[in-house]
Amino acid sequence: MALSERVTPGIALPSRWSLGAMVIAAIVVAPILSVLGIALFPRENIWPHLISTTLPRYLWNTAILMGGVGLLTACMGTGAAWIVSRYEFPGRRWLEWLLLLPLGVPAYVGAYALVDFLEYAGPVQGALRDLFGWQSARDYWFPEIRSMGAAILVLSAALYPYVYLLGRAAFREQSASADEVAQSLGAGAFGRFWRVGLPLARPAIAAGVAIVMMETVNDFGTVDYFAVQTLTTGIFTVWLEANNAGGAAQIASVVLTLVILLVMIEKLSRRKMRFFNLSTRFRPVARQPLPGGAGWLAMLACLIPFAAGFVLPTGVILAHALDNAENWTDPDLWEAGLNTLFVGGTAAVVTMLAAVFLVYGVRISGRRLPRLLMPVTTIGYAAPGAVLAVGLLIPLAALDNALADTVLGWTGWDPGLMLTGTAFALILAYCVRFFAIAQGAADAAMGRVSPNLALAARSLGRNQGQVLTAVYYPLMRGTIASALLLVFVDCVKELPATLLLRPFNYDTLATRVHEQASLELLGEAAPAAILVIGVGLMAVGLLARANR
């Protein structure tokens, strides 16, 4: 008898779908709870030491970085979205999609490219010395490349498409009526943007900026390369150099608190804001042609973020990859590629299967607890990779040693570290980190399927599992494939969690890029970086296709 809830006399027992959904939710939330538990009850409490020494500096640098990147991406993304949505100018159709391409370039790759391009031995300073006859660095002044300002510029160039994408959608959905009313009241182009367009698009822009700031907190490769000490670099320092896992958990709890506060502020800021289209005949705003120089200036304004976020890093890395073609045959490169394919592909499949099971189990269970747990599972995407690594590795290491001791005591054979000594911990971290992407896609796709189809299948004798495979899956297949690709791409680009959780001598493309570039061997890092960018562009292409 296949029912959503099995009933025994006097007790309503949850079905396997409901139990499975709760188990999956518990696994996803467990690393966050683990971080908080380790921080509250560390083996060695170094809170006083952290507060009196490094923590204020980590917090201050993180706040400056988040504020600077948030402000700059808001200006870049919103400005570009407004221009391509409201005006016609040369190259607009191309730029509307080209502005998305920086999403395919990880910020740490942009950092390596910028330093290589602007450093003393780079082409820019070399050309200046040749042009003006300067002999050494003492003869002229040049901005410090490895600095907070450079980190803000690199992260902003890589992350502004989040604001641009959401802002463009918001501007395109606005009605021409409001724009015409403002124009009839004498508002000019800037007045219509400031008083009408921007306020109506504020929720979408705020959501984009919140995502940008969370990605900024998660970043490790860029800030580490630019020697900017943030909370994320603090986790690495305290854990790996000071060998204090409790202290790392305490810093991770600060990061987690900061991210949760950021999400809450973003939601509260638009809690009472509602926007409705009251017109029965919706008309989109017609784009106004920009004549002459104004059109070329608009094109230039859109080209600058595209060039900074995509053309410069990709061009520099590609030049190194072509100049050092022999590195493409390095066996270590292709071993890292196979490792990336294995861990990323496995994580994507497991994450998608778990998300579909969770969403389906919640829908058919009818119980309140699974419904309450489902939104909580999205917190993994907001939590930085370094935070999840702390929450996973410490309890998994303890469990791993206990399992190994048990097997050794029973059989006399030492199996070694089965969880942390393999890619298991890394795959689990990817699943937790990107579960929100898969869950959101599964929930949206399942919501588009009429309940009548499932009821009809049940009336024909199909059980719940057969309904999922025979009714829901064929209708969700396209969405599932897209979500699989998005999760895989994010796994390929993830650096902090990979650095902390990978087994010994186990490289992925991301860690190979980071290690070689940290040793100033950009020529050897370039092939792996090109592969990472290529995988990222696949996701950007899918995103552009979905947002036509």
Domain limit, last residue, from 279, 303, 322: 322
Residue 29: how many other CB atoms lie within 10 Å:
18
Same-domain status, 378 and 240: no
Q: Is residue 371 part of a domain?
A: yes
Q: What is the number of structural domains in the chain?
A: 2
* Interacting residues of 292 by C-beta distance below 8 A, sequence separation 6+: none
How far apart (Å, rounded) are the C-alpha atoms in residues 531 and 509? 8
Instruction: Give the confidence band of 411 by pLDDT, cuts at 50, 70, 90.
Output: confident
Q: Is residue 111 part of a domain?
A: no
Q: Is residue 68 part of a domain?
A: yes
Same-domain status, 387 and 301: no
Which residues on adjacent β-strands are paired with residue 260? none
The structure's pTM equals 0.86
Same-domain status, 183 and 85: yes
Q: Is residue 8 pLDDT above 50, yes or no? A: no
pLDDT, position 121: 87
Same-domain status, 445 and 310: no
How much is the average pLDDT of 281-305? 84
How much is the average pLDDT of 112-120? 92
Q: Is residue 5 part of a domain?
A: no
Same-domain status, 356 and 458: yes
Q: Which pLDDT tens digit goes with each residue over 33-82?
A: 888 888 888 877 788 888 888 899 999 999 999 999 999 999 999 999 98
Same-domain status, 292 and 403: no
How much is the average pLDDT of 316-325? 92
Q: Is residue 399 part of a domain?
A: yes
Q: Compute the radius of gyration of the chain from its Cα atoms.
A: 26
Same-domain status, 199 and 260: yes
Same-domain status, 450 and 465: yes
Comparing 181 with 287, the larger pLDDT belongs to 287
pLDDT, the chain, mean: 85
Domain that holds residue 384: 13-36+324-548
Q: Is residue 125 part of a domain?
A: no
Same-domain status, 371 and 508: yes
Q: Is residue 200 part of a domain?
A: yes
Q: Which pLDDT tens digit goes with each residue over 28-44?
A: 888 888 888 888 888 77
How much is the average pLDDT of 347-372? 85
Same-domain status, 355 and 494: yes
User: For residues 409-421, b (16+ Cβ closer than 10 Å) or e, as one string?
Assistant: eeeeeeeebebbb
Q: Which pLDDT tens digit goes with each residue over 386-406?
A: 888 888 888 888 888 888 888
Q: Is residue 507 part of a domain?
A: yes
Alpha helices in 270-291 (DSSP H): none
The amino acid at 179: D
Same-domain status, 400 and 525: yes
How far apart (Å, rounded) are the C-alpha atoms in residues 525 and 514? 8
Q: Which pLDDT tens digit goes with each residue over 257-272?
A: 888 887 777 666 655 5
pLDDT, position 3: 42
Same-domain status, 380 and 429: yes
Can you state the percent helix, strand and coil of the chain, rounding each to 5?
75, 5, 20
Judge residue 21's burial from the number of C-beta atoms within 10 Å of its C-beta, 0-12 exposed, 13-18 middle, 19 or more buried. Answer: buried
Instruction: Give the confidence band of 6 by pLDDT, cuts at 50, 70, 90.
Output: very low
Which domain CATH number covers 502? Answer: 1.10.3720.10
